[in-house]
Amino acid sequence: MWRPSVNSRPGPVTPDDIARLDRDDPLAARRSLFALPEGVIYLDGNSLGALPKSVPARIAQAVEQEWGVGLIRSWNDAGWYPAPQRVGARIAPLVGAAPDEVIVADSTSVNLFKVLVAALRMRPGRRRIVGERGSFPTDAYVAAGVAELMDAEFVAVEPDAVADAIDERTAVVSLTHVNYKTGRVYDMAGITRRAHAAGALVVWDLCHTAGAMPCDLNGCDADFAVGCGYKYLNGGPGAPAFVFVAQRHQAGLRQPIAGWHGHAHPFDFVHDYVPAAGIDRMLVGTAPQLGLLALEEALKAFDGVDLQQLRRKSEQMTELFIRLADQELAPWGFGLASPRDAAQRGSQVSLTHPEGYAIMQALIARGVIGDFRAPDILRFGFAVLYVGFADLWNAVAALKDVMATGAWQAPEFSRRKAVT
Amino acid sequence: MWRPSVNSRPGPVTPDDIARLDRDDPLAARRSLFALPEGVIYLDGNSLGALPKSVPARIAQAVEQEWGVGLIRSWNDAGWYPAPQRVGARIAPLVGAAPDEVIVADSTSVNLFKVLVAALRMRPGRRRIVGERGSFPTDAYVAAGVAELMDAEFVAVEPDAVADAIDERTAVVSLTHVNYKTGRVYDMAGITRRAHAAGALVVWDLCHTAGAMPCDLNGCDADFAVGCGYKYLNGGPGAPAFVFVAQRHQAGLRQPIAGWHGHAHPFDFVHDYVPAAGIDRMLVGTAPQLGLLALEEALKAFDGVDLQQLRRKSEQMTELFIRLADQELAPWGFGLASPRDAAQRGSQVSLTHPEGYAIMQALIARGVIGDFRAPDILRFGFAVLYVGFADLWNAVAALKDVMATGAWQAPEFSRRKAVT
């Protein structure tokens, strides 16, 4: 059940408070960079980021001119060939990495597979992957699959038990920095230090971090990271993912999917595989240019953004949403799945409710788009480049109305869709 | 050195012959479905297929409407979620497969990795992958990488030695049906029969087959196949790839990259991996929708195409090109790398020349686009949906002129580009 926040300021949040927050928002002007449909409050940028306005023209150019007219010549002339490195270098500062430590390739799951196998190979005497029970499922599935393949074991524990589960048997710790359901944030520096002290490596999944809040991979001495291009980075549906390998690990790294684009000289067409010198060895097949170029264009929305301002706005938003929920939703049986301490929270607030699925569908029908995660989570993500404080006010008002009117009980809202 | 074809009809090919071939071409009207730039003869559809005219509008709709307005809802409402299966079912008839045996996912290299590991797991007492020395490098790289990972060995032999190399130690034979350099075609039925007789499985790489010539995976009792979306299928740069798993193998298949989209119930978000029932278990991460939808639209160019007509035209084209080369290029020191027997040849003709790189660059500068493959191959691919017989006449005339004038000796043509 709902427990009001002990951190809430006394007194109700007023429309004046909201207006002041929007007026004082240094990132407010970024919203104009995005094409948001009329009548929609979009709080699902943690599932699929909104469309940056400049992307359609960029993709039209890529399709009609670069593909249609340039044809094969565009691999050289339009800069397709170095796009994985170029887009990786754009992502690097958002996650505290050097430009030559990040490359865009494949999906998050495939990249996770590559780095987990590589990490196990770096610790041949150890056969344990430690992860979190309750992390995003693909992280668990891929880790279990790698463990089976490598004659290792995958040990998944509760979040609070992770640090203690790391010992001299641990080859690699694989964690999602921000939990997809709750928004809870791991202490990247502390866990990494703990792992290194035990002689283990760490892989950070940054799917709910990159573009949502800063992190400092190199400041934390991180080993590997993976992340997604289609959430807070706004790269579009199924945008390619990124992978980070700390510079110190690159030369010795042996990832298992030895595709030609990871070769030192792919166009020499020699028989034996020789991995490329640096981060390029994480490449496998031909890069998916349409998705890659859309992601590149989308990332321009972050140009010049002060990541500390981004984080401050995100904390203000999650704090405000929780205060509004405290204030407006108390009678309706919601719980709070996200930490009340802003420092432990990513850029989302998750509520729980046994009728969460139908409630979310009813809310979406009113134009407030969040999402549902089984079994009972209503998830609201705040992509601070295009979400304003008034959006949160209106979203909570709509949610209150859905509950007060019983609108969520309409039969059409309980029918499950393929993608929830 | 050049050896004139013993199969050539007596007498020179004349412009009248060319005009008659184009006039009688039942596929000639398909050319109007493609956006081909002015002044270009495009003989590189085996590297990057040309742009189908309907693709730009489809992608604009996907970006502006489905992503921009539909946002996350489009996973259900715009049919994004079942797109990998839907596009796979479109490819299936081009390769002799049933609709539920093909799915679109990842890159060719990643798919090859998945099926090779799965195949080795199906033959636990055998530890050998047999392949071809001289196949496309990524096939060799991936196979060697899988062998290292699975404590197996990769044995690569010359094409003529493949059949004899298959024995009771062989777990899986991995071959490219049409060789990327020479266009030589393997006997799919014969090799598959030989492998099965020895108790081995077979993976066919169809990168230079799908859309270029029919093949009959199920008629040959094939086990697995992979292939590329961006060559003869015209899916665009870095289009996603496809993978075929024979129905009889699907239920027991264990592929190693256990991503959430291959789960039986991805949106239940349960901790343990349960593979999906059929071909869906070959999926890994979130599907790259822009590339996938471009490929889907591009495949419509094959709607209603009689694959026997497609093959007949392709044979006519390769035969004509060789006859024209015999007739026009004899003085210039070219060799023929492709088989002279049309039945053993895919939809390409490859010439050799020690100065092949510079010659190809000079030819491209004249608007005739083929490509170069190290060390000495000039490659000409004939995508019969948009290449006409007059194109071949003009291409050979341009090549003759490049040689006769010595144009290829200009210094700018010897400077290597990143992608050759």
The residue assigned the tokens 């004249």 is B366
The catalytic residue among B231, B313, B345, B366 is B231
CB contact under 8 A, B74 and A237: yes
At residue B10, the pLDDT reads 54
In angstroms, the separation between the Cα of residue B176 and the nearest Cα of chain A is 14
Q: Which of B69, B136, B145 sits opposite A273 (nearest CB)?
A: B145
In angstroms, the separation between the Cα of residue A154 and the nearest Cα of chain B is 11
Q: Which of B106, B236, B287 sits opposite A290 (nearest CB)?
A: B236
- All structural domains of chain A with their residue ranges: 15-27+306-414, 56-302
CB contact under 8 A, B418 and A269: no
| pTM greater than 0.95 (yes/no) | yes
Chain B: residue nearest A84 by CA? B238
Task: Collapse the DSSP code of A275 into the 3-class scheme (helix H, G, I; strand E, B; otherwise coil) and give the result.
Answer: strand
Collect all residues of chain B within an 8 Å Cβ-Cβ radius of residue A263: 137, 141
In angstroms, the CA B418 to CA B420 distance is 6
Collect all residues of chain A within an 8 Å Cβ-Cβ radius of residue B149: 117, 149, 256
- Count of A-B CB contacts under 8 Å: 289
The predicted-structure confidence for B50-94, as pLDDT tens digits, reads as follows: 999 999 999 999 999 999 999 999 999 999 999 999 999 999 999
Q: What is the amino acid identity at position A16?
A: D
CB contact under 8 A, A289 and B237: yes
In angstroms, the separation between the Cα of residue A9 and the nearest Cα of chain B is 34
The answer to whether B136 is a known catalytic residue is: yes
At residue A9, the pLDDT reads 52
In angstroms, the CA B396 to CA B383 distance is 17
Question: Quick one: how far is CA B281 from the chain centroid?
Answer: 23
In angstroms, the separation between the Cα of residue A11 and the nearest Cα of chain B is 36
Collect all residues of chain A within an 8 Å Cβ-Cβ radius of residue B230: 286
Complex ipTM, two decimals?
A: 0.96
User: Mind spelling out the 3-state secondary structure of A336-385?
Assistant: ECCCCCHHHECCEEEEECCCHHHHHHHHHHCCEECEEECCCEEEEECCCC
Collect all residues of chain A within an 8 Å Cβ-Cβ radius of residue B71: 37, 40, 42, 44, 48, 50, 369
Distances (CA, A) of A364 to A42, A204, A400: 9, 32, 13
The predicted-structure confidence for B375-401, as pLDDT tens digits, reads as follows: 999 999 999 999 999 999 999 999 999
> Which alpha helices (H) appear in A173-245, and where do they start and end?
188-197
> A15-27+306-414: which CATH architecture?
Alpha-Beta Complex (3.90)
For residues A413 and A362, the answer to whether their CB atoms sit within 8 Å is: yes
Number of H helices, E strands in chain A: 13, 15
Contacts 24+ apart (CB under 8 A), A10-16: A12/A327, A13/A320, A13/A323, A13/A324, A13/A327, A13/A393, A15/A393
CB contact under 8 A, B257 and A294: no
**Helix or strand holding residue A50 (H, E):** none
The predicted-structure confidence for B135-189, as pLDDT tens digits, reads as follows: 999 999 999 999 999 999 999 999 999 999 999 999 999 999 999 999 999 999 9
At residue A1, the pLDDT reads 43
User: Given pLDDT bands bounded at 50, 70 and 90, which one contains residue B416?
Assistant: confident
**Is beta strand A102-104 parallel, antiparallel or unpaired with respect to A242-245?**
antiparallel
In angstroms, the CA A43 to CA A121 distance is 40
Collect all residues of chain B within an 8 Å Cβ-Cβ radius of residue A290: 59, 236-238, 288, 290-291, 294
Q: Give B331 or B417, the one with higher predicted confidence.
A: B331
The answer to whether B268 is a known catalytic residue is: no
Q: What is the CATH number of domain A56-302?
A: 3.40.640.10
Using only C-alpha atoms, chain A has a radius of gyration, in whole angstroms, of: 22
At residue B1, the pLDDT reads 42
Tell me the two tokens of residue A323. Answer: 């205060």
In angstroms, the separation between the Cα of residue B135 and the nearest Cα of chain A is 8
CB contact under 8 A, A420 and B267: yes
Contacts 24+ apart (CB under 8 A), B247-251: B247/B98, B247/B100, B247/B101, B247/B278, B249/B122, B249/B223, B249/B224, B250/B101, B250/B277, B250/B278, B250/B279, B250/B281, B251/B277, B251/B278
Q: Which of B72, B82, B142 sits opposite A48 (nearest CB)?
A: B72
The answer to whether B376 is a known catalytic residue is: no
Chain A: residue nearest B66 by CA? A237
At residue A10, the pLDDT reads 54
Tell me the two tokens of residue A279. Answer: 């981060």
At residue A4, the pLDDT reads 46
In angstroms, the CA B41 to CA B34 distance is 13
For residues A171 and A152, the answer to whether their CB atoms sit within 8 Å is: yes
Please give chain A's pLDDT, 420 residues, in tens. Answer: 445 454 445 579 999 999 999 999 999 999 999 999 999 999 999 999 999 999 999 999 999 999 999 999 999 999 999 999 999 999 999 999 999 999 999 999 999 999 999 999 999 999 999 999 989 999 999 999 999 999 999 999 999 999 999 999 999 999 999 999 999 999 999 999 999 999 999 999 999 999 999 999 999 999 999 999 999 999 999 999 999 999 999 999 999 999 999 999 999 889 999 999 999 999 999 999 999 999 999 999 999 999 999 999 999 999 999 999 999 999 999 999 999 999 999 999 999 999 999 999 999 999 999 999 989 999 999 999 999 999 999 999 999 999 999 999 999 999 888 887
